[in-house]
Chain A
Amino acid sequence: MKKHLVVGLSLLSVVVGTPPVSPAGPKNDGRPDGGTLGYGEYGRPSTLDPITSNEMVSLRITELVFNGLVGIDAKQEIVPELAERWEASKDGRGYTFYLRKDVVWHARDGEEARPFTADDVVFTYKIMMHPKTTTPLKVRYEFIESVEKLTDHAVQFTLKRPILNALAKFSFKVIPKHGPANPIYLTREDPFVRQPIGTGPFVVKTITSDREVVLVANENYFKGRPHINRFISKPFADQNIMTQALMFNAIDMVVLVNPRDLPELQGDKRFVLQPYNALSYAFFGYNLRNSLLADKRVRQALAYAVNRQEVLDSFFNGQGTLVSGPFAPGSWAYNLDVRPLAFDPQKATALLRQAGFAPGPDGTLQKDGKKLALSLKVPIEKESEAVKRVVLAFQNYLKNIGVAIKVEFKEWQAWKESVFLEHDFDIIFASWVFDDSADISSLFHSAEIGAWKNNFGAYSNPEVDGLIVESKLTLDHEKRRTINRKLHAILAEEAPYTFLWTLTNYSGYHKKVRRVAIHPYKFFSFADEWFIPVADQK
C-alpha cells in the first residue's frame, strides 16, 4: 500500500537498535540531555498530523510527535508502543490490545496534560474512516470491521476476514479525542493539523514566520525524555543550498543529500554520511488509454531503448540498484529471478517493426500515418535537477530509435491533476514510496482505475487482478510469496511501467550528533535516543 508519491528519489535502509522501554522521566542511561538539532527539509509541510498528510516532510514530523499501538523496529519486527501487549483470537479476526497506563498527551498551553485511553484509539479509527476525512489511509484499513473499547486500557479490533501480517497495520499513529476541533471528521482546515498534540518524544512548539517547525522535548515521554532538547525542521525552497547550509553550520542534518553533493561531504571529516534504504523505486509510467501505448511491444521497446545502468552511474554516482518489477527491492515479495531488461536498442527497433512502425520522412517512426510521438509530463519539484537530467536522457535515448518525446514540465498540483484526474498524458516520470511493499493492488488492479486512483495508466489484466486478490486473501506466507513472484514476472513482461531503479539515500549530519539510527521509511523513529555531547551543545 503506497501512500506517498514523490518525484525523483525517496528513502531507505539500515537501522541499528530498538529503543528500550523505560519509565517516564529522564532516560538515566548515562548520556547527556540538551542541545538543538536543526535539519534541512525539502519544502514545508502543509499539515503536521498523521491522518491528512500525504508527503514525506510531514511524515517525518509526525514520527517525532505521535506513536502507534505497535511499532516496527529496524529488523521489521513488531514491538510494543502504546499497547504493551496484545492477543489475537483463534479465528484470526479479533485483536485485543492492552494499553500502557503511563502515557499522557502533550499539554496544550494553559491546560493539564490528559491521559491516553482506549477512547483515543477508537476515536482515531473512526475519524480516519469517516467519508469526509481527507486522508490517503482509508483504503489501508478497510479490512477492519469494527473497533470496541473494552476497558479504559483495552481495545478490541474485529477484522472482516483474517489477513496476513495484520499486526503491522496497527502501527497507525493515534491522535487524541480532544485534539481536532471537529470530532466527527478531519480536514485540512482543522486547526489541529497545524498545531497537533500527540504522545511522542517531541512536542510541536511553534511554527515560525520563516515556516520553521520547532519541536521541543516531551518531559513526560513514556519511553523516557529524549536527549536532544529541540528539533527544528527548516524548509529549503532551493535544494541546491541545503548541503552548503550544512557545511556552513546553518543546519546540523540533511535528511536526504543530493547525490551530486556526496563527494563533497565524504571528504569532510566534520560530517557523517549515513545510508538508508527505503522501499521505493522510480519509473516511467505509461497511459494505456493511448492506443499506441496499449501495444505491449511498444512499451517493451521503450524499456529496451534506455540504458538505465548508464543513467544511474552517471547521474547518481551508481548509488542505487536497477529494479525489474513492481515490488520494491529489499521487500520479500521482490522476485530476484526476474532480471532488469538489458539495454538493447536493436531489439527495441525490432519490436517496433513488429508492431507495424516504419521510419517516416523526418526519421520519426510512424504507423498508418500516425507518428510515434508521445508527451512526457514531469512535475517541476524538489528534485528538479536530477529529474531534468533523467527525462532529457530518456528523450535522447528514444530519439535514437525514432520515437519523439515531448517533455512538458508542470507545476506539482497541475501535474497531479492532469495525471490522476484528467489522465491527459502519455508518459510520466515519478517514484512510489512504499510502507508495505507486498501490496501493489492500488497500482495495478483494474478496480483502481478512475479519478484520483493510483492505477493512473488504466492497466487492466484479469490474470493480474486475480493474483492480486488471491495474494491479499491467502494466510499462508509461502503461498503469498509464490503469488507475488508470479505477479512480478507478469508485470515485468507486460511493462505497464518502465521500472528504473531504487536509490541508496544518504542522510548527512554533523558528527556531534551521536547514536544516530535512521528508520528506512519514517526516518525519525529512533530520534529520542540520539544525543549531543555536552561540549558540543553550545
Chain B
Amino acid sequence: MKRYTQIEDASRPASDVSPWKSAGTLDLACVGYGLIVVAAVLVSYVLGVFEWLPYDPEHISFGLLNAPPGSAGHLLGTDFLGRDILSRLIVATQAYFLPGLVAIAISLVAGTVLGALAGYRGGGVEVLVTYFNNLVDSFPRLVLILLVIAVFRVDIYYIMIIVGVTGVPVVASLVAGKIAFLRQKHFIEAAHVLGLPAHVIVLKHILWHHCAPLLVIRATIGMGEVILIETSLSYLGFGVQEPTPSWGNMVQAGANYFFQGKFWPSTAPALAILFTILGFHLLGDGLNGILEDRSGK
C-alpha cells in the first residue's frame, strides 16, 4: 500500500499549493459567476419539480394576453396566451436538465472510453477510433437531428441522444491526447514497472487524477451547447413542444409580437438563455484556466 501512495503522490501535480490559491482573479470571477448560474438553474429545477411557482405555468388567462411586466402580479408579464412568464421560465429548466444530463453523460462516457482506448493502446485501436470520430464529425449535427425527427418523432430525448453521440469525438480526442501525453511520463512508467494492471493505471492514475478537471469542463460547456441546440430547434418548431415551456419555444412564440412593441415575452427567455449559456461557458473557461493550465505546466 505504501508504494502505491508514493506513486500516487508522484502522479499528482508537482506543486503542493492548491491551484485555487494561485488562481487569477479573472478565472475566479468566471467560476464564481458560473457557479451562481448553476445554482440558479438547480434552484429553478427544484422549484419546478415541487411546483413552488407563482402561477400555474399552463394556466391560460384570456383577459391578460401579452400583459406587460408587473401587471396583475405577473412579475415578468404574460405570454401570448396570458400564461405567467416567470413561472414558465422556471419550469423551462426541466426541459434541459435531465435531457441535457443524458446528452452529456453519453458524450463523456463514450468519449472517455474511446479516448482511453485510443490513447493508451494506440495502434489499430487508435486508427479505428479516429475513423469513428471522423465519421460522426462529418455529419452536420442539426441535419442529423432533423433526420432523426423526421424518421421517429419530435422528442427532446431523441434529440439529446444525437447531441450526446455527436459530442463523443471532441471528448474522445481530448482524452486520447491527454493520455498520449501522460503515457510518456515517469510516474506511468513507474506504475508499469511495478506491475500495476492497465485498468488501474488508466482509471485511477490517468483519468481520475488528470482527466477529471477536463471532463468537468467539457460537461459545463456541453450544458451550454444543449440549451443552444434546443433553442435553435425550437425556432424551427422542432424543439420542446407546447404547451411544455422551454426557453427556445418561449422566444419563438414571443418573437411574433416583438414588432408590435410587446418585447417582454421573447426578451425574458432570450436573456435567460444568454446569461445561462454565458455562465456555463465562463465556468468551463475559468475551471480550465485554474485546473488545466496549471496541471499541464
Contact = CB atoms under 8 A, between A and B. Distances in A.
Interface of A: 240-241, 244, 260-261, 264, 310-311, 313-315, 380, 385, 388-389, 392-393, 395-396, 399, 407-409
23 contacts: A240-B255, A240-B256, A240-B259, A260-B260, A264-B260, A310-B62, A313-B62, A315-B65, A385-B253, A388-B242, A388-B253, A389-B80, A389-B81, A392-B242, A392-B243, A393-B60, A393-B81, A395-B243, A396-B58, A396-B243, A399-B58, A407-B243, A408-B154
B140 interface: no
B134 interface: no
B260 A407 contact: no
B241 A407 contact: yes
**Residue picked from A244, A314, A315, most chain B C-beta under 10 Å:** A314
A244 B260 CA distance: 9
B58 to A, nearest CB: 7
Given A240-B256, A385-B253, 8 more contacts: A261-B260, A311-B62, A313-B62, A314-B62, A314-B63, A385-B80, A392-B242, A409-B237
A408 B65 CA distance: 23
B256 A385 contact: yes
A408 B241 CA distance: 8
A461 B65 CA distance: 42
Contacts of A393: 60, 62, 81
Please tell me the size bucket of the interface on B: 10 to 19
A241 B259 CA distance: 8
A263 B126 CA distance: 66
A244 B255 CA distance: 14
Contacts of A241: 259
B62 to A, nearest CB: 4
Interface string B153-197: 010000000000000000000000000000000000000000000
B259 A392 contact: no
Contacts of A315: 65
User: Would you list the 7 A-B pairs with minimal beta carbon distance, nearest first?
Assistant: A314-B62, A385-B256, A396-B60, A310-B62, A240-B256, A380-B237, A392-B243
Interface in B233-248: 237, 241-243
Contacts of B259: 240-241, 244
A244 B243 CA distance: 29
A144 to B, nearest CB: 44
Contacts of B255: 240
A310 B82 CA distance: 13
A409 B260 contact: no
A240 B154 CA distance: 25
Nearest to A264: B260
Nearest to B236: A380
Contacts of B242: 388, 392, 407
Nearest to B60: A396
A238 to B, nearest CB: 9
Contacts of A264: 260
Contacts of A261: 260
B237 A392 contact: no
A388 B242 CA distance: 9
A4 to B, nearest CB: 24
B43 to A, nearest CB: 27
A227 B210 CA distance: 81
Nearest to A243: B259
Contact of A392 (B63, B65, B81, B154): B81
B230 to A, nearest CB: 16
Contacts of A313: 62
B253 A314 contact: no
Contacts of B241: 407-409
A396 B260 CA distance: 26
Contact of B65 (A314, A388, A407): A314
A74 B242 CA distance: 43
Contacts of A392: 60, 81, 242-243
Nearest to A261: B260
A348 B292 CA distance: 64
A199 B23 CA distance: 82
Nearest to B59: A396
Contacts of B243: 392, 395-396, 407
A407 B153 CA distance: 13
A396 B59 CA distance: 8
Nearest to B243: A392
Contacts of A240: 255-256, 259
Contacts of A389: 80-81
Contacts of A396: 58, 60, 243
A241 B256 CA distance: 9
Nearest to A409: B237
- Among A260, A310, A315, A393, the most chain B Cβ lie within 10 Å of the Cβ of A260
A497 to B, nearest CB: 23
B245 to A, nearest CB: 12
A392 B245 CA distance: 12
Contacts of B81: 389, 392-393
Interface in B50-87: 58, 60, 62-63, 65, 80-81
